[in-house]
Structure 1
Amino acid sequence: MANIQKRPNGKWRARYRDLDGKEHARHFDRKIDAQRWLDEVTASLVTGQYVDPRSAKKLFKEYAEEWRTRQPHRPSTAKAVAQHLRCYAYPAWEKRALGAIKPGDVQKWVTDLTTTHGLAASTTRTVFNTVNAVFRAAVRDRMILHNPCEGAKLPAVPRKRVVPLSVEQVRRLSAEIPARYRGLVLLGAATGLRPGELFGLQLRHVDLLHATMSVEQQIQQTAKHGVYVGPPKTTRSYRTAPLPKVAVQALHAHLRDFPVSGPEGWLFTAPEGGPVVYTSFMDGSWRPACQRAGKPKGTGPHALRHHYASLLIKHGESVKTVSERLGHTNAAMTLNIYTHLWPDSEERTRAAVDRAYADDGSADRSDLPDAEAA
């Protein structure tokens, strides 16, 4: 129910009741402005776009904390989200109401992340995505009408070209790493599994008879939750990886030297037993092996994944196939990382035209009339 009344002071009072029966009112100098406001409110109520003015007054931090605690984040993601909000969002908007944060405020905040806080462009984008998720949820919950993050200009992320390891480099690394992880290195290079996926392999995931391996879990590590078994990174990360001969041979050798007891036994274990822990593996085995093998400083286990992708590309596999083997969310992600490894399109274009004209002699211009040849 809505109505407009003229007040003794000459103002026009517009009133309406929201879906909860709460009355709202505003005063205007002109009746036409009061009517326009009521029309807008009525339209939003009818279309389901109504936002209670009281909702927008809720503090950003209060709503963000409610949003954060009800998200089904895995522990590593939950830790990152909490850090983004605590370190970068709350200092800026802790005492600001949701509806008081405007697009200009967001743009200045994004710029300050790089200029004041010194964050890399990629980190700035990650922090922004967290805050953007909060505001998107606020719009869905009818707390605010518009998301102030929409249209924000983000810093460009410099594209780093992946330089994959050669076959010889992988062999040298596998020779330098402790024997208990030699199979892990060769398996990573031959299947493209993520480090956590390699650590999470159990004997039940391996089918040497059919030369396949199923990816169903990964080992993760956070300060709060310690070492734990979690699901693969994305839905697409659940996959069955074909095992080339080099992987089958490496697994046979590994299981011979390091037997696994039962289907639930870990394929690769820490020296003291149990699954491989990333930090201990890096400090105790991977980095020393890289140094002995002459690898560039900063080379991580992910380099084995890049090596695998480069082999598939070199031997003509499509973007779709490479994306599926790596368990990427989509083919666009694969192209974004490895596009420079595919054969140069300019050379393919020249070769295609040259082949078309090579058979009939049309490429020879000596017989053309002078005017046409010119």
Structure 2
Amino acid sequence: MRQRWNIARPLRAAPAPVLLLALVLLLAPGGRGAGRGAPTVVAPPEIEAGAWALVDRETGLLLAGENPDEGLPVASMTKVMSALVALREVEAGEASLDDEVTVSEDAESYVGLVYSNVGLISGETVTLGDLLVATLVPSGTDAVYALAEHLGDGSTEAFVARMNEEAQALGLRETRFESPAGLDTPENFASARDMAEICREALAYPEFAEIVGQATATIGTNNREIEIVNTNQLLSTYEPATGIKTGTSPESGPSLAASAESDGESYIAIVLDAASEDGAPGDRFEDAQAILEHGFGRYDREALVARDEPYEELPLPYRRGESVELVATEDVSGPVDAATEVERRVTADEPPPSARAGQELGEVEVLIGGQSVGRSPLVARQGYEEASIWQRVRYTVGGLFQ
């Protein structure tokens, strides 16, 4: 049976405006103060891999890892970017998940024993939505090539160019793609940090999150149904698991992007080229679970900026000793442990002659370890009127005698 799709906008925060005067406050969360003994923190797990990373899904904060910025082969984890580009096209109105796609002979050529596939046959029609499912759940290489050809107007090269444009737009420094499936080539690689950011962007689409969270699924062609099984074993063995995507090739070794959520915390683990102590291929699922458990065990999500709380005072124009409090309009939370230091960076406009209650006059940004994790506008708690002529005169005259 065919499934009809409706694309939803991704769940992401809007960018904050750039403001003027900068003030910096450096303090530890939860009232932790200086002068105490060194806090005890849980050491990261010992992971044998080419690279790995633990990232907070909400903020994108890199919490732990080894070689997180080294570009390495990622094999079929590349298909996360292919899916992200497809969803961007749908969001922009350039495509629909209900589009009927005809499988080409080239896409069918990836059916066989060499590549993971769902057995698509040339001439069959499949919806774009079902091709996404087939790409992400069983890692169908035939499906992602059919998808790429459709969205690239018959050219997989054009689609791959769009993937690289997306990587550049996301600011990914150690990522490059040469195929929609992640076939082993010198120009197909990503770092663990970059791969986590791609996953964060894709997971912002509810459709993507739903697809990668399925242990099993069914897709349909114009004349048959195909039962498929997710290659991500954590969905069946690790209760907090929510997605994402496996990758395996001779160059990449066993690799995995995995996400999990528990008690309001959500993390992404990236494992590239999992290995055992003797150098043999390792257990990427065991490694990813250990990384995710480290996140849940070491960090707690705390409110670092609270809505309606003041974070700055602005002096009122021409009125000595009078000021207006600037309060946050949004909560900002982040992952912290016993050793975390939080920087709250306040920027504010020059106070205008008058302002109304709730008028935006500044911004507070929260940084952990130098990495921005969120920001909130600051607004006037109370309004104030423009200074009268007598207040201006008194202010000016008073300044002459100071």
Which category describes the TM-score, using the shorter chain as reference length?
A: under 0.3
As a proportion of its length, which structure holds more helix? 1
Highest Rg: 1 or 2?
Answer: 1
TM-score of the two chains, using structure 1 as the length reference: 0.24
As a proportion of its length, which structure holds more strand? 2
TM-score of the two chains, using structure 2 as the length reference: 0.23
Q: RCO greater where, 1 or 2, for CA within 8 Å and sep 6 or more?
A: 2
